[in-house]
Amino acid sequence: MTGRYDAVIIGGGHNGLVSAAYLARAGMRVVALERRHILGGAAVTEEVFPGFRYSVASYVVSLLRPEIIRELNLPRHGLEILPLDGTFTPLDGDYLWRVNDHGRTMRELRRWNLVDAEAYEEYGQLMVEMARFIKPILSVVPPDPTGLDPRQFLPLAGLLRTFQRLPEDRQAVFVQLMTMSAADFLGQWFTIDPLIATMSASGIIGTFQGVRSPGTAYVLLHHYMGEIDGAFRAWGIPRGGTGGVSEAIASAARALGAEIRTEAPVARILVGGGRARGVVLESGEEVLADAVLSSIDARQTYLRLLEPGNLDPAFEEEVGRIKFRGSSGKVNLAVDRLPDFTSLPGDGEHLRGAISFSGSVDDMELAYDDAKYGRWSRRPYIDMIIPTLVDPSMAPPGKHVISCFVQYAPYHLDPALGSWDDNRDAFGDAVVDRIAEVAPNIREIILHRQVLTPFDIERRFGLSEGNIFQGELSLEQLFFNRPVPGYARFRGPVRDLWLCGSATHPGGGIMGANGRIAALELPRATGRKVV
């Protein structure tokens, strides 16, 4: 289909695809344009070494909105989430192993400490309550607190009422969650160091913060939200890797009439008369549309794809201030056999969930200290998954792939260390060394190793400074401040130019919420009739 579109979407990551599907569902003629040869953005599966398929970047799904799964009928389009079970924290001579089976986890915690075991139940319940309370925020358009129209606050009125109804101690906990550090917050309940360390890890994923940095407790809550959707408990890995999510969404979008093109990098956004009119591809081809939705980050959208002169300098400055500074790396391994942990030898069930290299809070904080001064962590925090144990199709028979999400790998290295190209191998070695501390056979079983530094993440996925969330998830860059204050309503100052990727509220992760809210808001805001 050529000619004029109702909407053109820049980027075929999962959010761009979600937008395409919802706009098509509303009866609009839409086309999504992806720069790479493959769809999915950071939610992608690629065969990097022959026979071994990797979820190259993102590796687990926990936040994907259940309403999207339902409304787009994703299971019919091939989505299948294979559950992961538990978190195994290997230690020197011991381990901490929590599983979905409540009784077993309690027994394990009691082995460590009775008081913590009791607190664990209380804590779990509390977090579910908190997550349930805050969850509606994931599907609203943030208000502008300086705006005069009171109607924009309406979506929050319900939230305020629920807040007022919360018992006072719960209100206090909520305030703590919004302000405290993950380690301090958890320290109020627990004393088992590896437990606090492992649980606090989800507070620092993708941020340039340590577990003792204020503000990280909120991110804990963010991660709990995915775990409470009773109907579709979606913590797991998609069959076929995270690319499976993107494939399913793309298939749903196509079925609804959206057009999707790969190898179609956008070079420029066309602006005429103060409004976006379409895009120009690097090939020179023009794609005209009534609205342009960009699923890439705000910096690239406004400062690279727009010709200079279209923006007010104050807005430009605000966009220039967005903090990216990627802090994560990814090491994907192809192995001959499974790793063997000294403290719990064998191919047991402990390998079927997340394996968390987070022995103590000090370890976590020390890993961050390196990053603060421009070095990659010499003893990094690693979140490891072995996808082939739940989805053997990812590797040749008997072989395995291992996904290692690594923190910290600061995008901006101390110049004394040289470039990331100079450091890639040493960084990869540090990851293997850390694993070898508790699973010495790792060195012998590696067949192939893919190391992605933040620099590689930027180059490969177009994520500025390698930030995995298209902008740090720090308090000052959330909700009505995301992507910049005053423009959190999925559009900036240029008319008909929208944002629909992780750069917007509610932030990053394979969630789809951003793409969905933007696509629902566009027809509403433009007064277009939804078919």
Task: Give the interface with other proteins as residue ranges (CB under 8 A).
Answer: 145-146, 163-164, 168, 171, 179, 209, 213-215, 314, 321, 323, 372, 474-476, 480-481, 485-486
H/E/C letters for each residue in 271-294? EECCEEEEEEECCCCEEEEEEEEE
Answer for which of 86, 215, 380, 462 binds ligand FAD (CB under 6 A) is 462
Q: Least distance to ligand FAD from the beta carbon of 450, Å?
A: 11
Q: Where on the phi/psi map is residue 73: left (φ > 0), alpha (ψ -120 to 50), or beta?
A: left
Helices (H) and strands (E) in the chain, counts: 17, 18
Q: Which is nearer to other proteins, 22 or 411 (CB)?
A: 411
Query: At a CB cut-off of 8 Å and minimum separation 6, what does 245 contact?
Result: 14, 40, 43, 61, 64, 74, 79, 238, 510
Q: Which CB, 215 or 501, lies closer to ligand FAD? A: 501
Taking the complex as a whole, how short is the minimal distance between the CB of residue 46 and ligand FAD, in angstroms? 12
Return the number of the residue (186 or 473) whose C-beta is nearest ligand FAD. Answer: 473
Query: Beta strands 5-10 and 30-33: pairing type?
Result: parallel
From 352, 22, 358, select the one nearest 183 (Cα to Cα): 358
Q: Is 34 in the site for ligand FAD (CB under 6 A)?
A: yes
The Cα–Cα gap between 494 and 321 comes to: 19
457 near ligand FAD, judged by CB under 6 A: yes
Picked from ligand FAD, other proteins, none, the partner binding residue 474 (CB below 5 to 8 A depending on kind) is other proteins
Answer with the entry of other proteins, ligand FAD, none that 524 interacts with (C-beta below 5 to 8 A by kind).
Answer: none
Residue from 87, 207, 295, 358 touching ligand FAD (CB under 6 A): that is: 295
> Where would I find the beta strands (DSSP E) of 339-411?
354-357, 381-385, 400-407
Residue 324 binds ligand FAD, judged by CB under 6 A: no
Selection from 260, 230, 208, 205 nearest residue 7 by Cα: 260
Cβ of residue 316: shortest distance to other proteins, in angstroms? 14
Smallest gap from Cβ 43 to ligand FAD, in A, equals: 4
* Min CB(251)–ligand FAD separation in Å: 16
| Partner interacting with residue 171 (select from other proteins, ligand FAD, none; CB below 5-8 Å by kind) | other proteins
Report the nearest approach of other proteins to the CB of residue 140 (Å): 17
The two three-digit tokens of residue 287, written as one number? 């794609």
Question: C-beta of 32: minimal distance to ligand FAD in Å?
Answer: 9
The encoded tokens of residue 256 equal 């609804």
Q: Which regions of 361-472 does DSSP assign to beta strands (E)? A: 381-385, 400-407, 446-452
Residue 224 Cβ vs other proteins, minimum distance, rounded to whole Å? 20
CB of 419 to other proteins, least distance (A): 22
Per CB under 6 A, 428 contacts ligand FAD? no
253 touches ligand FAD (CB under 6 A): no
- Dihedral of alpha carbons 489, 483, 218, 221, sign: positive
The DSSP letter of residue 347 is: S
Told to check if 293 binds ligand FAD by CB under 6 A, we report no
Q: Which does 63 bind (CB under 5 to 8 A by kind): other proteins, ligand FAD, none?
A: ligand FAD
Among 7, 22, 24, 36, contact with ligand FAD (rule: CB under 6 A): 36
**Closest to 178 in 3D by CA, of 474, 456, 448:** 474
Burial class of residue 67 in the structure, from the number of CB atoms within 10 Å of its CB (0-12 exposed, 13-18 middle, 19+ buried): middle
468: left (phi over 0), alpha (psi -120 to 50) or beta: alpha
Quote the tokens at residue 444. 């012998």
What residues make contact with ligand FAD under the rule CB under 6 A? 10-16, 33-36, 41-43, 57-61, 63, 265-266, 295-296, 328, 330, 405, 457, 461-463, 468-470, 501-502, 508-510
